[in-house]
Amino acid sequence: MFLHCGKFKLDLSHPKVMGIVNVTPDSFSDGGKHLASEAAIAYARRLIDDGADILDIGGESTRPGAAPVSEQEELDRVLPVIEGLDDINIPISIDTYKPEVMRAALAAGASMVNDVNALQAERALEWVANTSAAVCLMHKQGAPQNMQLQPQYRQLIAEVSSFLSERIAAAEAVGISGERLIVDPGFGFGKTLEHNLALLKNLHEFALLGIPVLAGLSRKSMLGQITGREVDERMTASVVAALIAVQRGTSIVRVHDVRETVDMLKVWRAIEE
């Protein structure tokens, strides 16, 4: 299976690593916008050295309860970073749910959209259709501000699956072909620990949609709940969770710890081929 993203064709016959680059003021330097961009660019280059296959660049935290950021602020954060990475030879994904940010980022050189809102915003489908970018369609229940309050499902896997299948149909209806699509069950987005574990255990079910699956488990609170560890101490748990995901057919893992995840995949592949 190949993923078409802009000028890139990613061979998904082996799982790929998407490295997370958060361009938020608290993540990179408080010495002003320019320094923050430079630091984010340097960080992104390190992830490439570490073996990242895709970079996911985001300017607004989608974490539960996070304050929304204005469109202009988000653009000011991510565009200089995308522009500063114009020489790299791996795809850049823009992590946003805002159509204007998608459009500007794709024009600046990004070739994938990672949308936790699955292109449900007005104009998002149409704008992405007019490009050759790939899109990750993620499931969530509720809005980031309240989604963790009381998540409930009658049939978790079936509900997440049918949402994703409806979004695949919506994307294909506007001309975004299946080769450009990725689906993601959205770990932690309106899910309890029990829900997250059931999703992880049954991840192979989503491969039945016929679209590559992406899993974002890195450092998530479900791993904190299981191990009792703080967010900065969840690397081992994250790498193991990524292994469980690829064992269940996941094509792309979205991670902070690129080096360690790449090592894990090398070990896994050594016995898998």
Please, which residue, 82 or 223, has the CB nearer to ligand 7PM? 223
Taking the complex as a whole, the smallest distance from the CB of residue 271 to ligand 7PM amounts, in Å, to 27
Query: What one-character DSSP code corresponds to residue 213?
Result: B
Are the beta carbons of 139 and 114 closer than 8 angstroms? no
Which among 254, 259, 266, 269 is annotated as catalytic?
254
Cα 109 from Cα 158, distance rounded (Å): 36
Taking the complex as a whole, the smallest distance from the CB of residue 218 to ligand 7PM amounts, in Å, to 6
Q: CA 57 from chain center: how many Å?
A: 9
Taking the complex as a whole, the smallest distance from the CB of residue 182 to ligand 7PM amounts, in Å, to 8
CB nearest ligand 7PM: which residue?
216
Binding site for ligand 7PM (CB under 6 A): 20, 61-63, 114, 116, 136, 138, 184, 186-188, 214, 216, 218, 220, 254
Which among 140, 167, 191, 220 is annotated as catalytic?
220
Please, which residue, 109 or 144, has the CB nearer to ligand 7PM? 144
Cα 40 from Cα 84, distance rounded (Å): 10
Taking the complex as a whole, the smallest distance from the CB of residue 43 to ligand 7PM amounts, in Å, to 15
**Is 254 in the active site?**
yes
**Is 220 in the active site?**
yes
Taking the complex as a whole, the smallest distance from the CB of residue 273 to ligand 7PM amounts, in Å, to 27
Residue with tokens 């501000």: 145
Please, which residue, 67 or 270, has the CB nearer to ligand 7PM? 67
Please, which residue, 40 or 116, has the CB nearer to ligand 7PM? 116
Q: Left (φ > 0), alpha (ψ -120 to 50) or beta: where does 65 sit?
A: left
Burial 95-126 (b: 16+ CB within 10 A, else e): bbbbbbbbbbbbebbbbbbbbbbbbebeebbe
Please, which residue, 86 or 192, has the CB nearer to ligand 7PM? 192
Our CA dihedral for 6, 12, 15, 21, rounded to 10 degrees, sits at: 0
Q: Which two tokens stand for residue 128?
A: 């992405």
Are the beta carbons of 93 and 216 closer than 8 angstroms? no
Q: Which residues are catalytic?
A: 220, 254
